[in-house]
Amino acid sequence: MFRSFAFLSVPALVADAARVRTRRKVAGTDCFSPYDGKPIMTLKACDAAELQEMLSAVSQCTLLSDDLVMPSGGGCAENVAVCDMHASDALLVQFPGKVKLADTDAGTYFRRTSGPAQSYTAVEGMELSDDFYSDWRDYDARMARIDAAVAASGGAAKIESMGKSVEGREMKIVRFTGKGYVPGNPKVAMTFNIHAREWIAGMAGIYAVEKLVEKVVNNPGYLDGVEVVMMPMANPDGFVNTQGFSRFHRKNMNKNSSLCTGVDLNRNFAFQWGTVGSSGIPCMDNYHGSAAVSEPETKAMTKMMDESPMTVYLDVHAFTQLILSAWGYTKDDHPRKAEFKALGVKMQDAIQSKHGAEYTEGPGAQVLYAVGGDTADYATSKGALGYCFELRPKSQLWSLAGFAPPKSMIQPTVEECFEGILVAIGHAKAQA
């Protein structure tokens, strides 16, 4: 679903769902169509009471921000909403200076500044050409690109399935097993695009696969004694939904009820499930599911992480340019704080040196906000140094980009992300 229903009654939900269905029948041309003709509003709340009041006021709007809480590191909560004309006018009057009109037509705006996902047909002999990253790519193009990269690896990389999604799509991983590796040796595991709307994270996963292929082909001994496993698309159903129907859908496609679809996979893991930073209400974007590891996608990721000990785990998201370490569920320091800091700073330096984009590093609950049941903390509980990368852009308010940045941001973002990945692999290699 497009909007946060936290403050809507059941009758309002029913009426709203009917309106959405009617609108889609008339204007359902692409993933931005439900926003056509609606103003975009920016919201800035600088204390908890003001944030709560503001969220109540936008209950009839479409919220385009992630977790609507005050940031742990201080400062103001920045949110973006798409509202109808009546709600927009009311917000401007109620919160002068804190709510601003950014654009009068959200659908047209996002269609122009970011655009929908495109297919990709490779020229024969140029299957891994860099022009792939000149635009957003659809699911079929992304999977074909991964197949092409693995095919070019000469057997250094292999595609496997960890299971199937709710709608029956394969939960694919790409495995690189260095010479001499046995379970228990150093290992790096990664997931990308667990939140469906974070398209740039998925593009980074594809880039990481093909560039690591390139690296091991050019240097066959690069991964000796080490294994690297990547899941470049951790939420295939949700992503397919965003590319053709609901651009800002976050969750998987579990049919929780007739009105609301999806479980937040990054709140569904077994460690600290349901404790903080998630909701038991199915219509909320951070709905943690009916039980820990209730979703087939979560089961597949858990299987990948449980198969052998991990040295480093990276979960790649967007946006806000952060490198987050444990803990995510509490502000208490992790016993391995110094190790987390040392590696986190090295990844930060590598990422920033590529194109000069600034990333903030630190424990998730201290830098951003507290969440339970997430991937990185689960991996950490298994003995890994678990991190979450939040890629570009830095802030939603500077351009309204957020989850739908301009396509010109794809190439530099995936490049700098890969620099951070190389540091994580280097950390594992040093222990081989």
Query: What residues are annotated to the active site?
Result: 390
Taking alpha carbons only, the member of 293, 296, 375, 289 closest to residue 329 is 375
Which residues are within 8 A (CB) of 399 and not within 5 positions of it... i.e. 6 or more apart? Answer: 113, 393, 405, 406
Taking alpha carbons only, the member of 166, 161, 293, 131 closest to residue 229 is 161
C-alpha 263/C-alpha 281 separation (Å) is: 10
Taking alpha carbons only, the member of 267, 394, 233, 248 closest to residue 319 is 394
Tokens of 146: 């991964």
CB 178 within 8 A of CB 222: yes
C-alpha 352/C-alpha 358 separation (Å) is: 6
Strands (E), 149-293: 157-164, 170-177, 187-192, 227-231
- List phi, psi (to 5°) of 358: -90, 130
CB 228 within 8 A of CB 185: no
CA distances from residue 400 to 48, 64, 135, 259 in whole angstroms, order as listed: 23, 9, 18, 28
Chain-centroid distance, C-alpha 243: 15
C-alpha 128/C-alpha 20 separation (Å) is: 40
Provide the 3-class DSSP secondary structure of residue 30: coil
CA distances from residue 323 to 190, 212, 362 in whole angstroms, order as listed: 14, 21, 6
How many other CB atoms sit within 10 Å of the CB of residue 139?
19
Amino acid at 336: R
C-alpha 232/C-alpha 211 separation (Å) is: 13
Question: Tokens 């594992």 — which residue?
Answer: 428
